[in-house]
Amino acid sequence: MRRASFTDMQCSVAQSLEQIGEWWSLLIIRDALLGVRRFEDFRTRLGIASNILTSRLDTLVAHGILERRRYSEHPPRDEYRLTDKGRDLWPVMTAIRQWGDKWALDLEDHPTVLVHDTCGHVCQAVPHCSECGQELELGSIHVAPGPNDSDPSFIPRRPAPGSDRS
Amino acid sequence: MRRASFTDMQCSVAQSLEQIGEWWSLLIIRDALLGVRRFEDFRTRLGIASNILTSRLDTLVAHGILERRRYSEHPPRDEYRLTDKGRDLWPVMTAIRQWGDKWALDLEDHPTVLVHDTCGHVCQAVPHCSECGQELELGSIHVAPGPNDSDPSFIPRRPAPGSDRS
């Protein structure tokens, strides 16, 4: 059961962190989801050194999260757009933002809010069950080995720790 | 609009990453959500060096995400339990896991699945609007400045980039 390498971990969380689990990368994705596309805009907003930004953008492009598109030939200039894979990170970013609003920021008012255009309200994203539609809570879910899991020891026990709130 | 320091960023995402945005920390939280509590269990499952694990556990305790509890006096042994703040990270971890199942893992079958105990089905967590109850999609939401936002330039434009899928 020893796990010496992350790339060997057949775990979605570990593999995702390989691709997005770096601080600058997540802030670049945050800004991309807000509509930022150009190198200079990322650089100015994040206060990040150009060489670090170049490296992180290259990595995100290599992982297929961003794609590079030329928007000017003279001078040659590229912009960075989220791919479908990158756009699919919005629930991750939203969950991080909501947790931070509640627990990490020391502010009464949230600096940003999520607006649901369909109903027009400022809202929270609330996880619901894809099967029965009910709202999910930590006490009513657990993670189980998948159908072909080769290492059931990866799940140490059930039920989930949320059921133990002593 | 220049941002030279993350601690100055009045942004929930940036502040959250200060507390959880480090690779090992997120994998420790993943295991804690699965029920792991003891140093030796974290160490064995993660294949992490003891000094690094100690440092990360101390940081998570300092941020109030884990709490240390003595479970043996002879010899002195502590376990690490998620606080309410830590347990509240389950939607973040679930969103990361689901994104990884879809995009980061090269597997047909998912190594782990989420089970909704209430209805008994393997399920996905789907974000719904807290106000109208509808399922949220990237094309129907946008992030807007909060009521007391001092830096509206932080939101570069609206609508959200999801509406531009060219």
Whether pLDDT at A166 is above 70: no
Residue B1 lies in a domain: yes
Residue A26 lies in a domain: yes
H/E stretch holding A128 reads strand A125-129
N-term to C-term CA, chain B: 29
- Cα–Cα distances in angstroms (integers) from residue A119 to residues A13, A134, B82, B126, B144, in the given order: 33, 20, 35, 18, 15
Count the Cβ atoms, other than its own, within 10 Å of residue B97.
Answer: 28
Q: What is the token pair recorded at B39?
A: 């140093």
Residue A77 lies in a domain: yes
ipTM: 0.87
Mean pLDDT along residues B116-121: 97
- Interface-testing mutation among A3, A5, A11, A12, with chain B (most B C-beta atoms within 10 A): A12
Closest CA to A97 of B56, B116, B155: B155
Half-sphere exposure at residue A158, Cβ-oriented, CA atoms within 13 angstroms? 18
- Interface-testing mutation among A128, A149, A150, with chain B (most B C-beta atoms within 10 A): A128
Identify the band that residue B152 occupies on the pLDDT scale cut at 50, 70 and 90.
low
Chain A residue with CA closest to B10: the answer is A111
Residue A150 lies in a domain: no
Whether pLDDT at A1 is above 70: no
Residue B68 lies in a domain: yes
Identify the band that residue B14 occupies on the pLDDT scale cut at 50, 70 and 90.
confident
d(C-alpha A142, C-alpha A40), whole Å: 44
Residue % of chain A over a pLDDT of 90: 64
Q: Are B41 and A134 in contact (CB under 8 A)?
A: no
Residue B115 lies in a domain: no
Q: Do B135 and A144 touch (CB under 8 A)?
A: no
What is the extent of the structural domain holding B44? Answer: 1-88
Give the torsion sign (CA, B62, A89, A141, B24): negative
d(C-alpha A3, C-alpha A32), whole Å: 34
Residue B38 lies in a domain: yes
What per-residue confidence (pLDDT) applies to B109? 66
Residue A111 lies in a domain: no
Cα A141–Cα A11–Cα B121 angle in degrees, nearest 5: 30
The 3-state DSSP class for residue B66 equals strand
Q: Are A64 and B102 in contact (CB under 8 A)?
A: no
How many domains, in total, are found in chain A?
Answer: 1
Contacts of A135 in chain B (CB under 8 A): 128
What per-residue confidence (pLDDT) applies to A20? 84
Please report, for the domain that includes residue B43, its CATH number.
1.10.10.10
Identify the band that residue A157 occupies on the pLDDT scale cut at 50, 70 and 90.
low
d(C-alpha A153, C-alpha A148), whole Å: 13
Q: Do A143 and B34 touch (CB under 8 A)?
A: yes
* pTM check: above 0.90: no
- Model confidence pLDDT, tens digit, residues B67-118: 999 999 999 999 999 999 999 999 999 999 999 999 988 766 678 899 999 9
Return left, alpha or beta for A25; rule: phi > 0 is left, psi -120 to 50 is alpha, else beta: alpha
Mean pLDDT check: name the lowest of A45-54, A100-109, B58-67, B108-117: A100-109
Mean pLDDT along residues B139-162: 70
Nearest beta carbon to residue A131 from set B23, B90, B116:
B116
Q: Do A99 and B112 touch (CB under 8 A)?
A: no
